Structure formats: C-alpha cells, structure tokens
Amino acid sequence: MSHISFSIGGILYLTLLLVVCIIKKVGKSKIENKVYLYLVVVALIGLIIDSTSFLMILTSVDVHNPFYILLSKLMLCYFEAWCFLFLLYMIAVLLRKQNQQKNYSKYKVILFGIIFPILIILNLVLPIEYNVSQNQIYPMGISVVICYLNAVVGIIIMICLLLKNKKYIKDKEFLPLWIVIALSMLTIIIQIICPGIILMTAVEALETFIMYFTIENPDMKLINELNIAKDQADKANQAKSEFLSSMSHEIRTPLNAIVGFSQALLEEDINEEAKEEVKDIVMASNSLLEIVNGILDISKIESGKIEIVNTEYKFKDIFDELVILSKGRLGDKPLEFKYSYDASIPNVLYGDYTRVKQVILNILTNAIKYTKEGYVDFKVSSIIKDDICRLIISVEDTGIGIKQENISKLFSKFERLDLDKNITIEGTGLGLAITKKLVELMNGKIVVQSVYGKGSKFTIAIDQKIIETQVEILEEKKEIKEEKTIDVTGKKILIVDDNKINLKVASRLLQKYNVITEEVESGFLCIDKINSGNKYDLILMDDMMPKMSGIETLKKLKEIESFNIPVIALTANAIAGMREKYINEGFTDYLAKPIDKNELNNIIYKYLNK
Ligand code: ADP
C-alpha cells in the first residue's frame, strides 16, 4: 500500500512541478531546460505505469495477462528513456559550458535516433519473466538484465564525462548532477542485490525533484543570471573608472605645463596686457581641471567608491577659506558678498573636511555664477544637541532664480536649466548632482527655495561630531593660506619625473625660492644620485614612471641606510583618496599636478623652512 501511496503522491507532485515549469517557461531558455521538461514528463509517465501495474496486481490480475506484460515492458522502456534523457541533459550542460551547443543535435541523434530505438525493440521482442514469491512480484530475464546493464554503462559514461571536464567539476552547478549519479548508483546496487524492492521509479521521481530545486530552479537561475549580469556590470564600471582615472592623468599632465608656466609668467615682469591674458589662461585651465574633477567625482560616487574620511577640523578655517575663494570669484561683477558666522559653532568638529568644503563651495560658486547684480549672502549657524553640531549653511542670492518646474531636475547629473539665459555661463550640470550625493553620504540634507527672476536660497544641513579638545594637534596640521616669506635660499631639491616638460615646470616654479634644483628622468637615476653620496633637502617624485614607479623607487630609497630625505609624491594621479594612498605608501607628503603655487608654497614652508 505504501508503494501505491508514494506513486500517487509522486504523480501529484510531478504534475504540479510540470505545471510550475510550464508557467515559469522553464523549457524556453536553454537546451538543457527543454531536456529537463522531458525528464519530468517521462518520470510522470513512469509513475503512472508503475501505479497502474501495481493496482493490477492488487486486483489479482495474473502476471501472464498480456496487458500486464506490456506494462512491464513499457516500464523498462521508461527507465531507459529517463537514463538517456539524464545523460543528454548532462551533455547539454557540458556543451553549454564549452560553448559547443551546435554539437547537441549530434548527441541527440546518437542517443535517441539510434541506440534508444534498438533498446526499445529489444525490450519489446525479448521475453520477460516474473519472480512470484511470497508477497513479491518482480520482473526478471534478459530484458531486465539489458536494462540494468544500460543503466550501469550510462552511469560510467556520465562519470567519465564529468571527469574529462575536470575544470568545471568544482562548479556548484555540477553538485546536483553528482548527487543524482550517486543516488542512481546506489539504487542499481540495491536493485541488483534485492530485486524485490522496486525502487527505480521512486528514485527517479525524487531525482527529478532534486534537480528542480537545485540546478533547474528558475529562481536560482534568475539569481545566477543576475549575478553574472552584475559581475559584468561591475567589470564595465571598473573599466570606466580606470578609463576616467587614466584620462584624468593624461589631461592633468599637459595642464601641468599650461598652469605651471602661466603661474610662473605671472610673477615675471611682463606688460599688463600680457598679464591679463596669462590670467585668462590660468582661469581657463582651472575650469578645465574642475570639469575633469567633476567627472571623476560623479563616476566614483556612482560606483560607490567615494568614501567619507572623517578627521578633526576647525570649521572656521573652512569658512575663512571659502570667503577668500568666493571673493576671488566675484571678479568685477557689481555684487555684494555678505557673510556671517555664528559664534556658537564649536571650535573643533569631526567630519570630512574636504567634502564639507566641496559642497559649500559648489553652492557658493553657483550663486556667484548665476547672479548678475545684487548680493550673495553666505550664512552659517548651528544647532547643538549633546555632542552633535548640526551645521546649517545657507547661500542666498538675488540671481536669475529657478523655475518651479525645474527644481526637481536641479540635482540630476548633466542637467543644465534655463539654457537660453545660461548659455554664456560655463558649467557641466554636474556640480549639484555631486553636491546632493555627497551631502547624503554625510547623512545631511540640501533644500532649495527659489523665485524665478528674483533669486534662490540653497540650505545644507550636516551633522558633525563635536570635539572639545585637541585643538593643538590641529594647529600643527594647519595649512598656510597666504604666501609667507620663506628663506630657503641654497636648499637642494631633486625632481624625479620621466616627462621632461614636467621637470621643467617644477624647476621653473621653484626658481623664485632661490633653491638649487636637480632633475632626473627615472627612479634608477634618483637612486644612483643618492648612492653616490649626493645630499638633498627634499625630493619631489612622480609616481607613474616606466620600468620603476615612484612607489618602487621610494621603497628602494628607504632600503639605503641613513636615508632620511622627505620625499613628496608629485603626481597627476589626483583623484580623491590619493593623498592617503601615497602617504600610506611611505611618502612624506603629496602634491597634485597641475601644481598649485599655494600648495607648493605650503610644502616648501613645511619641509625646507627649518
Ligand atoms: P552647472 O552650474 O555646472 O551647470 P550645477 O549642477 O551646479 O551645474 O547646476 C545645475 C543647474 O542648476 C545650472 O545649470 C543652473 O541652471 C541651475 N542653478 C544652480 N544654482 C543656481 C542658482 N544659484 N541660481 C540659479 N540657477 C541655478
């Protein structure tokens, strides 16, 4: 009775499985999925034949009844069909892995066009006998032996096939196949030892189930496909980031020459007209640099690579710096720049100094850009709760304003609004997209209020932790914003760069300090100089050099006993996070190309003015 209940249960389950497979269109994707559908159908037919013949025995039908004999022979055919289909399934999986799907029909013809029909004919023609003892009735004879033989040969072929394709064996996809093979082997052994226990149909139904919930599960397949698609997208994104970073490097290198030589020219005694033109060159190069940085920032944010690096900082320093920068950007516009700073803001805060400055500078620059006359009002206040200071930064202008319907588009990348009015104003439409993403990364908020034609007000709220002490540490880190008179006359600086123009730019910018500069074009030459006893006060080292990079050169230098010269990474690899990278690699400090004269001044002051 348990046998019949199992068969009927199995029929119900397999029917359900078949319906699910059809609804989920399992057979429509790959060849093996189609074969799997046949496997389900054949397993179902097997269970139906099995239960029918069992019912006949229960109702005392004689084993010599021709219909019963036919059912027994069909049972053997079913069993062979299932084994063949499973073998074909495995071949289909392997062919897919090897990208050889075109060979599939060849195997199908050999298995189902030639061997299977021969076995069917043998099954039908050869006689079948029955062992009838006590409560057991089971078929035996030559056709049953052929059937078992066929299963054993099939299993051997499957194992050989899997072993031959060793490189895929560790693939998770093959685990269910191994389980099915192991189960089948076990069943055949049990079946040969105790032929009375008819296990075949039950095991094959079970194996068909196992396959559905593992290798054939459409949801798992979907997840697999999604994972593959995700991997591909990640790789593409990675390639994009690498491309952008190398483009940024390539653009920065010639820009270094343009900015460097122009800055040096500005300090020369040239006529006013030429000076104005050189100033324009510097300004144009700076906007080009801003565009490069903007594109890099947005691509880093999108690939989730931007990190918020929190440190202690003085907000007042940022405020002062922003005021100086904004005043510089007013140019000759008839604009009043108002600013106010709430004295209740704690002295030292903990947050991402660079990003806080970047977002405020973005909205300040926009306010100045999009306002012809009137004022720009920059206000910072704070709300303090426990050890958190909520900075409320607002920038209000009397500029062109933003149409209500455009406010929702404001923070989308590459979205520039009101182009008929703005066409002459330089911009990429990236600034606010970056600002919003960065503010959100810092768990802050940005809101905008605007009246078209009258002006706009951007407000940013960011929470920063309050640090009460350690003001002294900051004092040490504080950078100099204005040029100080530095006397470093006669100090020796070694510049290492494979690019001759870059060498010229650096030594040109250093000229005004009355230092002695030496230039070498590779890491090897730099090491030679040190090894032959030359003494320097500072080394400026490019990183991306052929044969031996700056990082490798530095490692070799550090191996030299008593080497203690400060080495500054001077590099066009200037995306965010690079400073930390170079400092971690052992560089004393970092200077981005194009070289900013104030930054260079800071470095000289910090390392030579001792
Ligand atoms: P960009 O200024 O480089 O074009 P942004 O992302 O900074 O890009 O700004 C997107 C658009 O939003 C600008 O093109 C401009 O139309 C509008 N906008 C931004 N700030 C202001 C402002 N203060 N006043 C008026 N319009 C603004």
Q: Are residues 442 and 535 in the same domain?
A: no
Strand partners, 569: 541, 590
Distances, alpha carbon 79 to alpha carbons 88, 122, 236, 582, in Å = 14, 14, 48, 68
Output the pLDDT for position 575: 64
Q: Is the CB–ligand 1 distance for residue 411 below 6 Å?
A: no
Q: Are residues 73 and 174 in the same domain?
A: yes
**Least confident piece of the model among 411-415, 496-500, 582-586:** 411-415
Higher pLDDT, 582 or 27: 582
Q: Is the CB–ligand 1 distance for residue 431 below 6 Å?
A: yes
CATH for 68: 1.20.1070
The reply to whether 485 falls in a domain is no
Pick from 450, 451, 472: nearest CA to 459: 450
Q: Is the CB–ligand 1 distance for residue 26 below 6 Å?
A: no
Calculate mean pLDDT across residues 66-83: 89
Mean pLDDT over each residue of the chain, to the nearest integer: 85
| Token representation of residue 592 | 């981005």
The number of domains in the chain is 4
Q: Are residues 336 and 376 in the same domain?
A: yes
- The proportion of the chain whose per-residue pLDDT surpasses 90, expressed as a percent, equals 29
Residue 196 has pLDDT above 80, yes or no: no
Q: Is the CB–ligand 1 distance for residue 398 below 6 Å?
A: no
pLDDT digit string (tens) for 226-276?
998 999 988 887 787 778 777 777 888 888 888 888 888 888 888 888 888
| Token representation of residue 203 | 């095991």
Q: Measured between alpha carbons, how far is 555 from 432 in angstroms, rounded to an integer?
A: 41
The reply to whether 333 falls in a domain is yes
DSSP secondary structure of 268-290: S---HHHHHHHHHHHHHHHHHHH
Residue 467 has pLDDT above 90, yes or no: no
Q: Are residues 110 and 72 in the same domain?
A: yes
Testing ligand 1's pocket by substitution, the residue of 416, 423, 437, 439 carrying the most ligand atoms inside 8 A of its CB is 416
Higher pLDDT, 245 or 400: 400
Domain boundary among 175, 199, 216: 216
Q: Are residues 38 and 170 in the same domain?
A: yes
**Least confident piece of the model among 123-137, 156-170, 414-428, 440-454:** 414-428
What residue's CA is closest to ligand 1, atom 7? 431
Enclosing domain of residue 359: 311-468
Residue the block writes with tokens 């030594």? 507
Kindly give the distance from the C-alpha atom of residue 445 to the centroid of ligand 1, in angstroms, as a whole number: 18
Output the pLDDT for position 526: 92
Residue 566 CB partners (closer than 8 Å, separation 6+): 537, 538, 539, 588, 589, 607
Q: Are residues 340 and 441 in the same domain?
A: yes
Output the pLDDT for position 479: 46
Kindly give the distance from the C-alpha atom of residue 452 to the centroid of ligand 1, in angstroms, as a whole number: 13
Q: Is the CB–ligand 1 distance for residue 422 below 6 Å?
A: yes
Testing ligand 1's pocket by substitution, the residue of 366, 369, 396, 397 carrying the most ligand atoms inside 8 A of its CB is 366
Calculate mean pLDDT across residues 534-545: 91
Kindly give the distance from the C-alpha atom of residue 149 to the centroid of ligand 1, in angstroms, as a whole number: 79
The reply to whether 30 falls in a domain is yes
**pLDDT class for 26, splitting at 50, 70, 90?**
low
Q: Are residues 66 and 132 in the same domain?
A: yes
Residue 424 has pLDDT above 90, yes or no: no
The reply to whether 475 falls in a domain is no
Residue 398 has pLDDT above 80, yes or no: yes
The reply to whether 390 falls in a domain is yes
Q: Are residues 348 and 254 in the same domain?
A: no
Domain boundary among 302, 331, 348: 302
456: phi then psi, degrees, rounded to nearest 5? -135, 160
Say if CB 241 and CB 305 are below 8 A apart.
yes
Pick from 399, 284, 418: nearest CA to 335: 399
**pLDDT class for 460, splitting at 50, 70, 90?**
very high
**Least confident piece of the model among 21-30, 555-564, 576-585, 593-602:** 21-30
What residue's CA is closest to ligand 1, atom 13? 416
Q: Are residues 298 and 371 in the same domain?
A: no
Output the pLDDT for position 128: 84
Q: Is the CB–ligand 1 distance for residue 446 below 6 Å?
A: no
| Token representation of residue 360 | 């405020």
Q: Are residues 165 and 77 in the same domain?
A: yes
Residue 474 has pLDDT above 70, yes or no: no
Q: Are residues 48 and 113 in the same domain?
A: yes
The reply to whether 227 falls in a domain is no
Output the pLDDT for position 223: 83
- Kindly report each contact of residues 84-87 with a partner whose C-beta sits within 8 Å and lies 24 or more positions away, as own/partner: 84/111, 84/112, 84/115, 84/116, 84/154, 85/35, 85/38, 85/39, 85/42, 86/39, 86/154, 86/158, 86/180, 86/184, 86/207, 87/111, 87/154, 87/157, 87/158
Output the pLDDT for position 480: 43
Q: Are residues 210 and 111 in the same domain?
A: yes
Output the pLDDT for position 477: 44
Residue 470 has pLDDT above 60, yes or no: no
The reply to whether 230 falls in a domain is no
The reply to whether 414 falls in a domain is yes
Testing ligand 1's pocket by substitution, the residue of 293, 370, 409 carrying the most ligand atoms inside 8 A of its CB is 370
CATH for 318: 3.30.565.10
**Least confident piece of the model among 271-275, 366-370, 537-541:** 271-275
Residue 472 has pLDDT above 50, yes or no: no
Domain boundary among 177, 197, 216: 216
Kindly give the distance from the C-alpha atom of residue 118 to the centroid of ligand 1, in angstroms, as a whole number: 79
Output the pLDDT for position 427: 67
Output the pLDDT for position 476: 43
Tell me the residue type at 471: V
Calculate mean pLDDT across residues 344-369: 91
